C-alpha cells in the first residue's frame, strides 16, 4: 500500500510537529483539533516554525508555501475519511485515545493504518476497539518531530508484518531512522531514559551534587548534548512524572518510582521551560 494522505489527530506541540514534517516531506496532510482556537494556534505554530527555517536559509519561501498548501486544518473527524494513515497525537489519556480510535475505525477506509504517538500507554488496548487490530501500531516521534531523527515503531501482538514494513518505509521517507519495539511499557527509549532522569533528580534531592554540577558532569564527562536536569525542564516535569508513573504501574520496578522532589515540583506547577520555572529559572 502506498501512503499518499496522512491524518494527524491533535495540533499541539507533537501533533503540529508531525503534521509539519509530513507536509514538508510531500504528503497531503489533514490535522485536527477539538476547536477552532486550538487549531488556529497549532497552525500558527507550524507557520512560525517554517518561517524560522526559511530565515536560517534551510528552506526557500517557495517550499514553505508549498508545504502549507499541502496542509489542511479541521475540527471534524469525518475529514479523515480518505486518509491512508492517521496518527493520533492527543494527550496521554487511554480512555480518550480509545474513543478516538473507535471513531477513526468507523470513518477511515478499510486499508488505512491507524497509529498512536503515545510514549508509554498500551497500544493493544487501543487496537482492540477497532475492527482492524492488524493495522494498528505505535509511531512514536520525538520532540521536536521535524528535527529528531528517531522513529519508534511499536508492534503489538496483533500488528501485521506488512503494516510494520509500510510504516518503516514511511518513516524513512520522513528522514527518520526507524527502530521496532514491542508493545511493552516504555518501549525502548523511555525504558532507558526514565531511570536515568529519575536518578539524576535523586542525586540533587540527596545533596550529592548541585544542579549545575550534575548537568556539567553529564555533558562534559559523557559527551551528552544536554544535562539531565536541563533536559527534564525542556521535556516538562509533568511529562516525566506521568511517564515514570505509567511505566511503574505496569512493571513495578523501583527504578521507575518518581522521587519526592519531582512530585512536589509538579504539584507546585514548576514544570520547566513551559511555566518559566523548573530545576532552573526561565523567567
User: Which is the catalytic residue, given 32, 117, 119, 122?
Assistant: 119
Q: Tell me if 42 sits within 8 A of 32, measured CB to CB.
A: no
60 is catalytic: no
Question: At a CB cut-off of 8 Å and minimum separation 6, what does 198 contact?
Answer: 240, 244, 255, 256, 257, 258, 259, 262
Distance CA 209, CA 44 (A): 41
Gap between the Cα atoms of 122 and 128, Å rounded:
11
**How far separated are the first and last CA of the chain, in Å rounded?**
49
Is 249 in the active site?
A: no
Distance CA 19, CA 50 (A): 12
Tell me how many helices (H) and strands (E) the chain has: 11, 8
Is residue 140 flagged as an active site residue?
Answer: yes
Is there a catalytic annotation at residue 65? Answer: no
Catalytic residue among 140, 169, 173, 245: 140
Name the active-site residue from 88, 117, 122, 152: 152
DSSP state of 77: G
CA distance 71 to 68: 5
Catalytically annotated residues: 119, 140, 152, 190
Amino acid at each position: 500500500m502506498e501512503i499518499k494522505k496522512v491524518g494527524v489527530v491533535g495540533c499541539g506541540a507533537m501533533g503540529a510537529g508531525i503534521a509539519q514534517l509530513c507536509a514538508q516531506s510531500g504528503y497531503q496532510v489533514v490535522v485536527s483539533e477539538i476547536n477552532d482556537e486550538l487549531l488556529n494556534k497549532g497552525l500558527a505554530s507550524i507557520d512560525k516554525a517554517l518561517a524560522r527555517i526559511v530565515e536560517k536559509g534551510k528552506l526557500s519561501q517557495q517550499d514553505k508555501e508549498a508545504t502549507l498548501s499541502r496542509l489542511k486544518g479541521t475540527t471534524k473527524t469525518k475529514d479523515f475519511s480518505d486518509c491512508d494513515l492517521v496518527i493520533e497525537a492527543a494527550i496521554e489519556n487511554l480512555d480518550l485515545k480509545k474513543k478516538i480510535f473507535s471513531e477513526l475505525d468507523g470513518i477511515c477506509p478499510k486499508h488505512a493504518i491507524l497509529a498512536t504517538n503515545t510514549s508509554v500507554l498500551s497500544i493493544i488496548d487501543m487496537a482492540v476497539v477497532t475492527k482492524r487490530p492488524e493495522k494498528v501500531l505505535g509511531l512514536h516521534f520525538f520532540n521536536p518531530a521535524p528535527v529528531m531523527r528517531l522513529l519508534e515503531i511499536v508492534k503489538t501482538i496483533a500488528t501485521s508484518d506488512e503494516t510494520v514494513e509500510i510504516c518503516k518505509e514511511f518513516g524513512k521517507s520522513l528522514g527518520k531512522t526507524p527502530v521496532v519495539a514491542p508493545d511493552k511499557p516504555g518501549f525502548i527509549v523511555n525504558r532507558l531514559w526514565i531511570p536515568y532522569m529519575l536518578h539524576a533528580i535523586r542525586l540533587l534531592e540527596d545533596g550529592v551534587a548541585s544542579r549545575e554540577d550534575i548537568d556539567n558532569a553529564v555533558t562534559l564527562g559523557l559527551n551528552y548534548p544536554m544535562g539531565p536536569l536541563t533536559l527534564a525542564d525542556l521535556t516538562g516535569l509533568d511529562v516525566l512524572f506521568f511517564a515514570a508513573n505509567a511505566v511503574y504501574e505496569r512493571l513495578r520496578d523501583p527504578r521507575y518510582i518518581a522521587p519526592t522532589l519531582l512530585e512536589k515540583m509538579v504539584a507546585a506547577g514548576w514544570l520547566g521551560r513551559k511555566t518559566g520555572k523548573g530545576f532552573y529559572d526561565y523567567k
